[in-house]
Structure 1
Amino acid sequence: MYRLFIFSSLFLLQSFTAQQTEFFKLKKYQTAVFSDALKENSGLSFFNGKLFTINDGGNASEIFEIDPKSAKIKNSLQTSVKNLDWEAIASDSVSLYVGDFGNNAGTRKDLKIYRFKADSLLRNTDYQPENISYYYPEQTDFTRRIISNDYDAEAMIYLNGKIHIFTKEWASRATSHYIIDPTLKFSQPAQKTESYNTGFVVTDADYYEGKLYLIGYTKSTEVYLMIFEESQPGVFFDKLLKKYYLGSSVSLGQIEGIAADDHGLYISGEEFRHPLGKVKPRLYFVPHEKLR
């Protein structure tokens, strides 16, 4: 986990034209404030119509079902594994996936994704999940470089029987799309399929009806959302539909989660501290029609 302590003017933006980036005031779509139990929430995902989140590294290894309107905790699922640096959550029809692959320093060689079969987890807190281990074959240097390496990650989705990871590239301010096979029982090389120069670090992703949603921020606290259209199965970066500037972390919080359903987008932020104070962790909801 890394907290942004870099403060910039609220009016400082990246250079862009109106054709490239649209302004969208996310602040007015706030629906709730998270309790302190979820002040370090990281990632959102729908599973069987229910909204789930997790806390990131250094917190308890729990999976939380939350109310999509009030952000209140409806259920807390205890797990039997350690939360080394949990950063993302995704799901298929029977399982929840938790990405323990936070890597701000770029030194980790134990990247993993836990697969929790939901029915087993609900019945037994001692249930042992499957451990999906992987590595980035392009990474050959593991020198400690805090928030200046390209092998961090906080975003993943499940699609077409595979896990898709979108990296958080501090040095390049881009993202790379990697694919993981969840059926393999050995540590596997992640398959890099495409990259995109986002201009910000990606902190979560979701897929809904042929569209990929990527959200994140810059070191100078600017928050962005990008929407891509799937051009062929599992390929996204050929067709960017929209890029939105959502505001600053100084007013929105440190945005860490996004999930979509039939109604719209749910966006979450963890507590954000800056020299003038702190922003409470918040949940936002944006109807689909507002982004068309």
Structure 2
Amino acid sequence: MIKIFIVFASILAIAFYFLRDQTAPASKAMKSDTNKFETLATLPGAIQESSGIEIMSENGNYLTHNDANNKPYLYEINEAGKLIKTHKFQLPNVDWEDLTRDDSGNLYIGDIGNNNSKRDELAIYKVSLQDMENPQAIRFTYEDYKGKPSKKDKSSFDCEAIFWYDGNLYLISKDRNGRNEAKVYQLSDEPGNHTAKKIGTVKMREPVTGASISPDGSTVALLSEGKIHLYRNVENPESFFEGESEEIQLSGAGQTEAVTFKDNNTLILTSEGGSLFRYTL
């Protein structure tokens, strides 16, 4: 009996040795830099479920929005949490989940939430920050979406995180199927009908709720509940996921949903609990 136990234990040890890198995310030890993380303000009452945020570099204010089935409005706020202006659109808000911008003054509104993977077509609305009256639609499907997914894949085509780089949008899926990975897709930033191409995966235990890239393109930040996943010294943002990430615990932040870079060394975040935060890298 003892010999059987020893053999069984040896098999388990060998299995753990070979499988450990497949199940664990490629990340450094988690930090909890509370001295770098601070609450800036409470969000205005109109913003009940902040789900995306982006900086308006022209005046230093921020744009944010509510998520599914709320009004198609962008709320302009400052760092004190004051509501400066409400930008209203004649667009559907099926499930607005994230914002990003390019280097030509265009904003991208991601109507990409897809909790049950039942949406056959998703949209990202391209809006000039100088002319918000004329949004254009980038409609797309995922290249690996083959119609109604199986029960095993019912959460495989949900997404809450996008960032822009060099003429393309990058979408990071919100995996809730227990595979410990998020899919990364590349999509043209031109209005029209497109297919989002799968270009890789990110090892990730937590569902991704937001994404952003630094102005100099050297750092990509992914957000999950109460945690930042940083990819530093990125040589090619198209393959940021091939690098090693650094996980940072945000103590007391709650359900963090949105992130943007204020500059190369400063992140601005929001939570569904109605708070505006700053994290200094």
Alignment of 1:123-202 (within 5 A): 127-143=133-149, 149-171=155-177, 172-183=179-190, 185=192, 187-202=193-208
1:224 maps onto 2:227 in alignment: yes
Conserved in 2, the CA contact under 8 Å of 1:80 and 1:128? no
2-structure distance, mates of 1:109, 1:188:
12
Alignment of 1:16-165 (within 5 A): 19-25=28-34, 29-48=38-57, 49-68=60-79, 70-92=80-102, 93-121=104-132, 127-143=133-149, 149-165=155-171
Letter in 2 for 1:94: G
Letter in 2 for 1:86: W
Offset, 1:19: 4.9
RMSD across aligned C-alpha pairs, in angstroms? Answer: 2.5
Q: Which residue of 2 aligns with 1:243?
A: 247
Cα distance, 1:51–1:184 mapped onto 2, change above 3 Å: closer
Helix, strand or coil: the match of 1:234?
helix
Cα distance, 1:242–1:142 mapped onto 2, change above 3 Å: same
2:213 to 172, 189, 207: 207
Offset, 1:143: 4.5
TM-score (normalizing by structure 1)? 0.78
| Percent of residue pairs bearing the same amino acid type | 23
Q: Which residue of 2 aligns with 1:11?
A: none
Query: Unpaired runs of 5+ in structure 1?
Result: 1-14, 122-126, 218-222, 272-280
- 1:65-124 C-alpha deviation (Å, 9 max, x unpaired): 1112x1221111111111111001111222111000100111111201001122221xxx
Conserved in 2, the CA contact under 8 Å of 1:177 and 1:193? yes
Helix, strand or coil: the match of 2:201?
strand
Conserved in 1, the CA contact under 8 Å of 2:120 and 2:147? no
Helix, strand or coil: the match of 1:150?
coil
- 1:123-182 C-alpha deviation (Å, 9 max, x unpaired): xxxx34111011111122424869951111111111111111111111134222111112
Letter in 1 for 2:41: A
Conserved in 2, the CA contact under 8 Å of 1:104 and 1:147? no
TM-score (normalizing by structure 2)? 0.81
Conserved in 1, the CA contact under 8 Å of 2:28 and 2:247? no
Conserved in 2, the CA contact under 8 Å of 1:106 and 1:146? no
Conserved in 1, the CA contact under 8 Å of 2:37 and 2:280? no
Query: Unpaired runs of 5+ in structure 2?
Result: 1-23
2-structure distance, mates of 1:270, 1:146:
28
Q: Which structure has greater helix proportion?
A: 2
Helix, strand or coil: the match of 1:87?
strand
Cα distance, 1:233–1:41 mapped onto 2, change above 3 Å: closer
Helix, strand or coil: the match of 2:155?
coil
Conserved in 1, the CA contact under 8 Å of 2:37 and 2:278? no
2-structure distance, mates of 1:132, 1:165:
13
Out of 149-158 and 176-185, give the one that drifted further: 176-185
Helix, strand or coil: the match of 1:52?
strand
Conserved in 1, the CA contact under 8 Å of 2:124 and 2:137? yes
Letter in 1 for 2:90: S
Cα distance, 1:42–1:145 mapped onto 2, change above 3 Å: farther
